[in-house]
Structure 1
């Protein structure tokens, strides 16, 4: 297909497609003339993945490139690919300081130890958790800390489902793509489901009050 048809099939504007090609987010098409190229279904699939990473995951162009390069590296393990995705999904946070941050860091590490989670020291999402907990401490919302283990238990079950989903992929390439999509899009789905569940539970239990 020509670039115009690729645009029509994916809903991505032609100038944007050309920009992604220049940035290396899409593989080049098959040249049919000096100024024309032909694209296939693999370009449709890749373009949809790129849009998901940007639109749903909120990743920058540089972050998308990092994820795609890791996906393409056959020497990278599934564990390492997941680490790259998690790193790029993490908020851009620097290490905090102060009493609230120190307390939050202690709470986070105690949770990891208590749950016997295998997490690397300095993992990006651990920093995100610590920063969020520090905010909670500063806002005097420490009662919510009592829910941490319940949240962690629910997250463990979700992680099991996620990994099972990933392992259904056809070969390494299919499994890696499932992991990336499941992680990025799954975050958005979980956030939406939580809010819908809140609405349902509030209607069921709080409306009469």
Structure 2
């Protein structure tokens, strides 16, 4: 396909595609003449991944380039690439602040209860500890049964997320779906939770 068709299929404007080509974020097409090149499905998938990372994940072009270099280098497993991608999206490229030791212990206890493996330097481990600390700073008592219920729900969602991308072999497609599914999935979960809360509250008010 020509660049105009690539734009139509990917949803990326032609000027953006040319910029990605110049900056090395998008691999070159097959040259058919001095001023023309042919593109294929791999270019469509890469453009969709770039859009997912920048527009949905909120990454800078510098962070996006770094991730794409890791993908193209093919030096790590898909599991590691997925983890690196979601970690970068979650942290926005910034290191999280260090939480209190007791909050980290509670975060670790919640993960251990579910049998999760958690990397010690995981940004989400630190973020969870920070959220727990915020609850305490607001004078809210943390009920362990309530926290365990959230962890159990998270386990079910994680299994559903893995099924969503299971069987995908194209790395660009895998990461695109993971980023979009994770970021928009958070908003989807929040909306469903609000609906469920309203319904549960109404049920409890019925005579």
Is the shorter-chain TM-score for this pair beyond 0.5, marking a shared fold? Answer: yes
1:187 aligns with 2:166: no
Residue 201 of structure 1: which of 193, 196, 201 is its match? Answer: 196
For structure 2, the 5+ residue unaligned runs are: none
Residue 120 of structure 1 corresponds to which residue in structure 2?
A: 119
Alpha-carbon RMSD across the aligned residues, in angstroms, is 2.6
Task: Output one character per residue of 1:57-78: Cα deviation in whole Å (capped at 9) or x when no partner.
Answer: 2222222223323333444123
Residue 85 of structure 2 corresponds to which residue in structure 1?
A: 85
Task: Tell me the TM-score normalised to structure 2 length.
Answer: 0.81
Q: Distance in 1 between matches of 2:62 and 2:147?
A: 33
Residue 94 of structure 1 corresponds to which residue in structure 2?
A: 96
Residue 44 of structure 1 corresponds to which residue in structure 2?
A: 44
Instruction: Kindly state the Cα deviation for residue 122 of structure 1 after the two structures are TM-superposed.
Output: 0.8
CA contact (8 A) 1:49 1:181 kept: yes
- How many residues are treated as equivalent by the alignment? 202
Q: Distance in 2 between matches of 1:147 and 1:57?
A: 30
Q: More displaced, 142-151 or 48-57? A: 142-151
Q: Distance in 2 between matches of 1:202 and 1:22?
A: 50
Structure 1 residues 89, 23: CA separation in 2 closer, same or farther (over 3 Å shift)?
same
Q: Distance in 1 between matches of 2:48 and 2:160?
A: 23
Residue 54 of structure 2 corresponds to which residue in structure 1?
A: 54
For structure 1, the 5+ residue unaligned runs are: none
